Amino acid sequence: MKVHQFPKDAVFLDRPTGRPYDVLGRVRTKVNFPSLDGQREDSQLCKNYFNKAAKDLLSRAKKVGGDAVMEMRAITFMVDGKSEKHKTAECADDGEEGQVLAEGFVIKWKPEPDESPKIKQ
């Protein structure tokens, strides 16, 4: 299993603060993974592939001109057809294969205001 780190400098579970941005739209991804791994717990596998989904969302965001992703959520579907959104790693698992469905909003950082003094000539 390749270990995936969460890109915490560019994917946010909430809205980023301290820097202005524009929202460009929504991105979604699906990550399938083998869940028959006797070396690792299901929760460990799910978290690892949730991190991969975060990296995939960021990659998709950059393809459309974004800089980051905010409000990343794992999506789960219930038996009754309803869906739930989670800030934490949540995966579906049929016993052989696991799956992470994730979404977030693409953001583009606004330019930092120029704080140097303006000199009139």
Task: Kindly report, residue by residue over 16-27, the tens digit of the pLDDT.
Answer: 998 999 999 999
pLDDT of amino acid 94: 81
pLDDT at residue 20, rounded to an integer: 95
CA distance 114 to 45: 45
- pLDDT tens digits along 11-58: 999 999 989 999 999 999 999 998 877 787 888 999 999 999 999 999
State residue 114's pLDDT score.
Answer: 66
pLDDT tens-digit profile of 76-114? Answer: 998 898 999 999 999 998 878 889 999 999 999 998 766
Please give the pLDDT value at position 118: 61
CA pair distance 52, 22, nearest whole angstrom: 25
Predicted pLDDT at 86: 96
Residue 43 confidence (pLDDT) = 86
Q: Provide the terminal-to-terminal Cα distance of the chain, rounded to the nearest Å.
A: 62
Give dist(CA 63, CA 14) in Å, integer: 22
